[in-house]
Amino acid sequence: MVSDPSQTPPAGPAPGPSPEVSVVVPVFNESGAAPDLAREIAAAFAGWPVEILFVDDCSRDDTRERLAALKTEIPALRLLAHSVNSGQSRAVRTGVLAARGEIIVTLDGDGQNDPADAPKLVDALRAGPSDLALVGGERVRRQDSAAKKIASRIGNGVRRRLLRDTANDTGCGLKAFRREAFLRLPYFDHIHRYLPALMLREGYSTLFLPVGHRPRTSGASKYTNLGRLWASASDLLGVMWLQSRARRPGPVAEL
């Protein structure tokens, strides 16, 4: 039987002490933002047992080369590369599969998430109850266009009403979650926007904290309001179906 190579994590770095936290950053054509973002992440987690995984989703610019040049400067940096452009959710999953930390932090690769906010999400996750699997950021004072903010407000409202996931801003890329919990979730494209609902479906709890948001200073957004609306319609129906088919066994005892 031939295994599915998309389910197999790529080889990691040389064996050594496992990091506690793995920061996963999907990037596509982010040559202008990615190098400085890598440095900011390293500074935010200075002194932590951490690894930083950038997943290049088959960029057409020199994102990959500029990040590779930083590996000596940032020893915690790992660079994974897709051979086919597969989208943000697949890039996140590639990073999670390759990660060695029990806690995953994700950030968008455009630099709009502030890495300085990430440690407080990790601290909240570690300090929470045993069933807390995800601490998500909720952007305050968003630095986006009026049209994007209005579309996001409407989309978040509809999703929250239909899925009852209690999240006000699932579009925020800054999240901290338990790797084991994430790998229990059914995978599909755009899953990154439905992590709170899917975590709740598995019986976990979630928490949300305010985080900063910065203007984009380079590159271009990979999403349009119309494209996001088209995908969201089918995604919402799919997640509602998954919720309707969930059956949890309660506490499991080994006899």
Domain ranges of the chain: 17-217
Tokens of 172: 């925020």
Tokens of 217: 């200073």
- If you average pLDDT over every residue of the chain, what do you get? 88
Name the residue with higher pLDDT: 186 or 251: 186
d(CA 214, CA 144): 9
The rounded percent of the chain whose pLDDT value lies above 90 is 67
| pLDDT per residue as tens digits for the range 9-56 | 565 555 567 899 999 999 999 999 999 999 999 999 999 999 999 999
Ordered DSSP codes for 144-174: S-HHHHHHHHHHHHHHHHHH----S-TT---
| pLDDT per residue as tens digits for the range 154-174 | 777 787 788 988 888 888 999
Placement of tokens 């088919």 in the chain: 245
| pLDDT per residue as tens digits for the range 118-138 | 999 999 999 999 999 999 999
pLDDT at 1: 39
pTM of the prediction? 0.87
d(CA 204, CA 202): 6
d(CA 122, CA 23): 11
**203 secondary structure, DSSP code:** T
Residues 17-217, CATH architecture = Alpha-Beta Complex (3.90)
Angle between the N-to-C axes of helices 146-163 and 225-244, in degrees from 0 to 180, rounded to the nearest 10: 10
Spatial neighbors of 82 by CB under 8 A, at least 6 apart, are: 55, 56, 57, 58, 90, 91, 94
d(CA 201, CA 123): 24
d(CA 107, CA 105): 7
